[in-house]
Structure 1
Amino acid sequence: MARTKAQLSSGARLADYLTVGFLAMQCPVGQVRLALEKSGAQSKRRRGLPREVLVYFVMMMVLYADVAYEDVMRLVVEGLRNLLGEAGLESTVVTKGAISQARGLVGEAPLRQLYEEQVRPHGPPGMPGVMFHGHRVMAIDGSTLTMPDEKANSDFYGHLSGGYGDAAFPVIRFVGMTECGTHTICFAKHGPFEEGELTLAQSVMDHADKSMIVTADRGFCGYEFWQRGLRTGAKLLFRVKSVQSLRRMQTLPDGSYLSEIHSNKNLKQKGQTTVVRVIEYALDGIPDAESSYRLITNWMGEDAPSAVELAALYHRRWTIEESFDELKTHLADRKVILRSKRPDLVKQEFYALLLTHSAIRKLMTEAADRTQQSAVDLSFIHAVRVLQRRIPFVGAIPP
């Protein structure tokens, strides 16, 4: 059942306060305080709202996207009072303007640090969809999020082309790397709309390692980005554009073949080529499928998976689109995804969104593991609803 401002103002249910407890389990107060200290954003005085409260507030406003700031803050204060031991919180009344000012003092850094330290691939190796031939399955892709049409946001982030519908709102562009078996967006980089996905993807790719196989769509299949991926030690599986020339050098027993990619199609000198394995295939009987697909991989040799296995694996990368959809339609479910009206607070809210999404995904993974299911088979919408109703009381959670 959707919450309204009137419902919360007339008296929140105990379950609303308990939601804060779930966030405190996933981002313990001790870790929040450490992140505040490292970023220089810890409270200088114990008067007013502790900065820890502001961190949980930004995460809670993601879950309660259509609820007034003041009501969300009341839920956070009531839910955390036992845990923080702040007697003064009981009588604290905070206005919307004061909340925005306090959020500005906290800044982006603590939430970014919490995200970078707390959110990692976490799918159990035995869970369906998590691993492929001993490697954790990851996907990299980009998307956008809308925000309020304020001048500061518009000047900093820019708009989609056009001026109607979603294009009427400023947008933040981001690239993320998702663990396909859990839908968790483990690494991400954001920037203004005019900053290209391939630019943002550089630092995201750096988080890959030899335990992973990273899949990517054709928009990321450039020589320099491929080289960057190779340096991480990860297995790579990228789709290539139909216009890219790939000369067949050696045909392999499974029908795939070896070829070379070049830093510049007009420059093929030594040191500017890399050998790749090419997999060409078609999807028969699949509606709307393209006539053919081509993938390249650095996974070759006797222990390499077959071309059919790799082709099937590539299409699991679409789970990253489902992860982005969860951010946009299941958590926010409105035309303007982010609520913040200033660029510094947009950045802060971006990491709060990823932290909250990850917390829900961890809950779902734990539930799926207990029942020997795949985490991606569980309903994200149902998990959000369960989260708002059945979380243990926060006072029982250690700091």
Structure 2
Amino acid sequence: MPLLNDLLDFSDHPLMPPPSAQLFAEHLPVEWIQHCLTLSAHATVRRRRLPGDMVIWMVVAMAFFRNEPITDVVRRLNLSADGEAGMNLLARSAVTQARQRVGAAPVEWLFHQTAQTWGAERYQKDDWHGLQLFAIDGAQFRTPDEPELREHYGSANTSTERQSAYPVMRLVALMNLGSHMLLDAATAPYRR
């Protein structure tokens, strides 16, 4: 994947300047970003320091820089309306509030759009005897111990009075084995 190659090139050369949101913009059509923002439950009139489109870029970048704090990702990519996402100019709470303001629906739509588009692409060495290879796998994750999460996902041992220490979420995903592209994913409560 060209985007992954660009990011790997960046990580191989630590003295290079950090990539900008422009790097991601080369691989994600701006129309997709604009459309997914129309799905946000929260409309805003004022122009914020961290507008919705920048929040979407931030979420995409978080997948590539997953070992870094979110605020560092914002600063690394200089994601802000005025182009000044410096250390003292953008509060951590602003990043959290921006993610909450945009919500999950735009990111979910973008995931499905990219999976549908890129998942249909064929790559060299992607075939086995003329067939594409896919895998389905699942996992369980402990979530933060919040009442809403426990009510939605449940516990690992809900057949008794006792509950596990954390709510447990199940995840299942479909992946192309050649490109490692996730084509679909779903979460569900532990007992369902």
Whether the TM-score (by the shorter chain) exceeds 0.5 is: yes
1:115 has 2:116 as partner: no
| 1:74 shift after superposition | 1.8
Q: 1:67 to 1:41 in 2, by over 3 A?
A: same
Contact 1:49/1:89 (<8 A) preserved:
no
The within-5 A match list for 1:324-339 is none
Contact 2:133/2:176 (<8 A) preserved:
yes
Letter in 2 for 1:176: A
Structure 2 distance, partners of 1:34, 1:176, is 25
Q: 1:155 to 1:59 in 2, by over 3 A?
A: farther
Which entry has the higher C-alpha Rg, 1 or 2?
A: 1
Structure 2 distance, partners of 1:170, 1:26, is 36
Structure 2 distance, partners of 1:132, 1:22, is 32
Other-structure match for 1:26: 27
Structure 1 distance, partners of 2:43, 2:26, is 20
Contact 1:178/1:185 (<8 A) preserved:
yes
Contact 2:141/2:168 (<8 A) preserved:
yes
TM-score for the superposition, normalised by structure 1? 0.37
The answer to which structure, 1 or 2, has the higher relative contact order (CA under 8 A, 6+ apart) is: 1
1:178 has 2:160 as partner: no
Q: 1:14 to 1:33 in 2, by over 3 A?
A: farther
Contact 1:141/1:177 (<8 A) preserved:
yes
Q: Structure 1 or 2: larger helix share? A: 1
Structure 2 distance, partners of 1:19, 1:145, is 32
Structure 2 distance, partners of 1:14, 1:41, is 37
Cα-Cα RMSD: 3.2
| 1:171 shift after superposition | 3.5
1:90 has 2:90 as partner: no
Other-structure match for 1:65: 66
Letter in 2 for 1:179: N
Q: 1:158 to 1:25 in 2, by over 3 A?
A: farther
The percentage of aligned residue pairs carrying the same residue is 27
Among candidates 181, 184, 187, match of residue 187 of structure 1: 184
Other-structure match for 1:124: 122
Give unpaired runs (5+ residues) of structure 2.
1-13, 159-163
Give unpaired runs (5+ residues) of structure 1.
1-11, 196-399
| 1:123 shift after superposition | 5.0
Structure 2 distance, partners of 1:189, 1:24, is 27
| 1:174 shift after superposition | 1.8
Q: Secondary structure at the match of 1:181?
A: coil
| 1:145 shift after superposition | 3.3
Of 58-67 and 183-192, deviating more is 58-67
Q: Secondary structure at the match of 1:26?
A: coil
Other-structure match for 1:45: 46
| 1:181 shift after superposition | 1.7
Aligned length: 170
Q: 1:133 to 1:68 in 2, by over 3 A?
A: closer
The within-5 A match list for 1:306-345 is none
1:140 has 2:136 as partner: yes
Letter in 2 for 1:139: A
Structure 1 distance, partners of 2:15, 2:60, is 19
